[in-house]
Structure 1
Amino acid sequence: MEALYRSLVPDFEAQVVGATEGEVEHIEALAGRPLPRFYRWFLLRMGGHMGPFEYPTIDFTAKAVLAAYSKRLVHPDSRFLMIGHEGDEMMPLHVFYDLDCLARDDARVTKNHVLGGEFHHQFETLREMFAWGNVLALHVEELGQRCVGNFYDPEGDVLARLVPVLTNLGFASPIATGSHCGLFRGPRGAVVTRATPGLETDIHTFRMGAADAGGLRRILGAIACETALKVNVREWFPPLAP
């Protein structure tokens, strides 16, 4: 993760602030169990201020988490630990860990309304959520032509088909991921994909960027021609000329 952050923002170390050991211990006490290794790393590295990796409306700092509990916006739970406070009052879906779904020194990330109700699963790990969001915001969205859509694999594993063709095109994943999240960066562009944790992996939504429409079409063409994936592009940014 540090290598990814450094590739996106070379001086990121000077712009982030870690949480204190006391804050981390307090959050662990609220969880009632040891924190996932990645979350502990995140808190001590940038749990005081995320610098260029801040989310527009979600506050992941230790202070925000502890304040939510102290104000009784949320209550300690043996399974779900709040890790991000959503400040958008129109869509107040706070971010939680599902500590019963551990994975790769991390845990499933889910969202829940401030008033409770159904949980909406987001990523298998917080590491993947952060990496997906950062590659999208700081790489894909910086490219001249982007598109969004979905990949469908009739045999049920989008990434198993996608990885070989993108590798041949010079793409590589900046971090290891599970079958529900794909991250690819290369000289021709960048691609992020995701599927809902706990559901099948036959459909991944994707966001993709390249320098221009021609470069993006070449990537999409290679995927369509060299794999059995069904490629559906829903929208282009900026819109293509008729």
Structure 2
Amino acid sequence: MQPQGLESEMEDFLLRVVPGLAEQWQGSTPEEIAQIEGLAGRPLPPFYRWFLKRMGQSMGPLTFPRLDFSARRVLSSYAEELVVPHSRFLFIGHDSDERMPLHLFYDLDLPTRADARVTRRPAEGGARHDRFETFRELLAYGALLNFRIDRLPQACTALLRGNDPDVLPRLDPVMDSIGFTRPVPTGPCCGLYERHDATLVCTKVPREKPEAVMVFTLAGNDLSTIRKIMGTIATESPLRIKVSEWKPPLK
């Protein structure tokens, strides 16, 4: 079972970051959760069970564009034979893209931290595109991106490259030293950092042979704040930064 502390920590984080979530989220019924567990053919990841209890009917303002994670949509997709039950992959999110939908599935054979890996692929199978080590990380990343980074005046996207795959152990001490907090526990493929005047998120694809590079987005109250943070990372760690985009573009 997942420790209650992790569920409580995630809940507190989302309620703090996403305005109006407490008033608008709606959970699934016990019957819906039991039906989904029957389709999985094994116990659901504890975090997914928490998600369904809290947001399985409606994610309120946390709803993702084009992605429907509702229990009703999961069950109807199986009932309509959009997907068929699989011992390893559990359908959890419907992609409404009309041209080439890549739906979200749990890879139940890759559990981690009371959760499991999230991958995208066509409903009928085919090439997989692993996205996050856990559904928890996907939701937390999306919350910070949409409700923190997108609402700050200046942002940049960049590559963060190290000498080995252990990028976050090199980044964490630097971020701690300049006053950032890590609101949600994550693994080696996702980093989440908050400060009163800035937010940073970074990810890389989970692989058997992990890469020594992560993509990060950093946003702050002004350009000088962002430059100072990146300068500290560059000078206080062995990591190298290559900026790919400023938003809005620099003049």
> Percent sequence identity over matched residues?
45
For each residue in 1:79-103, what CA deviation from the matched residue of structure 2 results, as whole angstroms up to 9, or x when unmatched?
0000000011123000000000000
Equivalent in the alignment of 2:57:
48
CA distance in 2, matches of 1:128, 1:155: 22
Equivalent in the alignment of 2:12:
3
Letter in 2 for 1:28: E
For the 8 Å contact 2:118–2:132, the answer to whether it is kept is yes
CA distance in 2, matches of 1:50, 1:229: 37
Alignment of 1:198-237 (within 5 A): 198=207, 199-237=209-247
The 4+ residue runs of structure 1 with deviation greater than 2 A are none
Alignment of 1:1-242 (within 5 A): 1-198=10-207, 199-241=209-251
For the 8 Å contact 1:158–1:201, the answer to whether it is kept is no
CA distance in 1, matches of 2:49, 2:118: 15
CA distance in 2, matches of 1:233, 1:226: 18
For each residue in 1:149-189, what CA deviation from the matched residue of structure 2 results, as whole angstroms up to 9, or x when unmatched?
11011132110111111111111111100000000001230
For each residue in 1:104-124, what CA deviation from the matched residue of structure 2 results, as whole angstroms up to 9, or x when unmatched?
100000000134211100000
3-state secondary structure, aligned to 1:177: coil
Q: TM-score, normalised by structure 1?
A: 0.97
3-state secondary structure, aligned to 2:215: strand
CA distance in 1, matches of 2:174, 2:128: 35
Letter in 1 for 2:166: D
Q: Which runs of 5+ in 1 are unaligned?
A: none
3-state secondary structure, aligned to 1:236: strand
State the Cα distance separating 1:14 from its structure 2 match: 1.2
For the 8 Å contact 1:150–1:203, the answer to whether it is kept is yes
What CA RMSD, in Å, does the superposition of the two structures yield over aligned residues?
Answer: 1.0
CA distance in 2, matches of 1:149, 1:67: 40
3-state secondary structure, aligned to 1:22: helix
State the Cα distance separating 1:10 from its structure 2 match: 5.0
Q: Which runs of 5+ in 2 are unaligned?
A: 1-9
Letter in 2 for 1:203: V
For the 8 Å contact 1:106–1:126, the answer to whether it is kept is yes
Q: TM-score, normalised by structure 2?
A: 0.94
State the Cα distance separating 1:201 from its structure 2 match: 4.3
Deviates more, 1:97-106 or 1:109-118: 109-118
CA distance in 2, matches of 1:238, 1:10: 24
CA distance in 1, matches of 2:175, 2:211: 18
3-state secondary structure, aligned to 1:239: coil
